[in-house]
Structure 1
């Protein structure tokens, strides 16, 4: 009985050590755990811009292929690579240029860019992104793993990067809009 208790204590210590190592690893640059930075607008995002007191300047817009949003009165406003608050400030500044004295603008993302999944899943392709999406949710959306799939590692390429990185495939591995997810074959 005492031997079982000491084994349980050892297992608990290993789990605690693993949790601390994971937390430290998450803080190191290039760590295996994936962190998603602040969301940046990109081509294909659908947004709602509300200009308080100005119905003609309120509406739903799509970030075009050039990275701009074409708005009434002020024309094209650069959106590519900006966070939502940065874009909101850019719209307010454009409206201050001789159109409105003190514009109050609110911006929200209605539809994010899709994500892409390929490799050893039943239905590879393009799928709509939803907030809080994890790799396992993405695999489920694509019909699940094939029988050859490596269910321990995943490769993800961010939309704004040309590099593909390897991550552990856990229930918490996050997906960002525009990501390309690749599920490889397992080796026997």
Structure 2
């Protein structure tokens, strides 16, 4: 009986590793575990056992959120772990004893694509997004699109600071993609 119990626990542990590790690895590969929050992100703040302190809120243009008891918090450029710690520390300072806070990104801010695509505009970011996938979301290239002149301006960079890109270039929230016109 004892050997059967150990075997079952071993199988359950093995299955957990199979399903948990790939998800964590994919977040690390895309660099989203250190993802800096920015204007337009929709986040969920959960405080275990405190429903009135659990909210979903979108970051303002100033990179702030309004949070119960604590007021307006500047959270731009913090990652979810840093924001969890900030809220936990402030709630523990006179409001709650040892609060458990979890912050997750529910919806990333948009990326933008313009130039020679069928439907230019802003689109919801998806982890693992490449320039090729972004073009597909914009319903493909126009007939006049260049097959090699792509530029990506990272969030906060000017158009003059845009970098040359390839179809496999990773795109991040807030990026602006330009698809140039072909001259022949």
Structure 1 residues 36 and 101 mapped into 2: Cα distance closer, same or farther (>3 Å)?
closer
Aligned residues: 152
Segments of 4+ in structure 1 off by > 2 A?
A: 35-38, 160-163
Unaligned runs of 5+ in 2: 1-29
Mapping 1:78-97, distance limit 5 Å: 78-97=74-93
What is the aligned partner in structure 2 of residue 179 from structure 1?
A: 175
- 3-state SS in 2 of match to 1:184: strand
CA RMSD of aligned residues (A): 1.6
Which structure has greater helix proportion?
2
Give the counterpart of 1:129 among 119, 122, 125: 125
**What residue ranges of structure 1 are gaps of 5+ in the alignment?**
1-34
Match of 1:160 among 156, 162, 167: 156
> TM-score w.r.t. structure 2 length?
0.77
Question: What residue number does 1:102 align with?
Answer: 98
C-alpha distance in 1 between matches for 2:84 and 2:37: 11
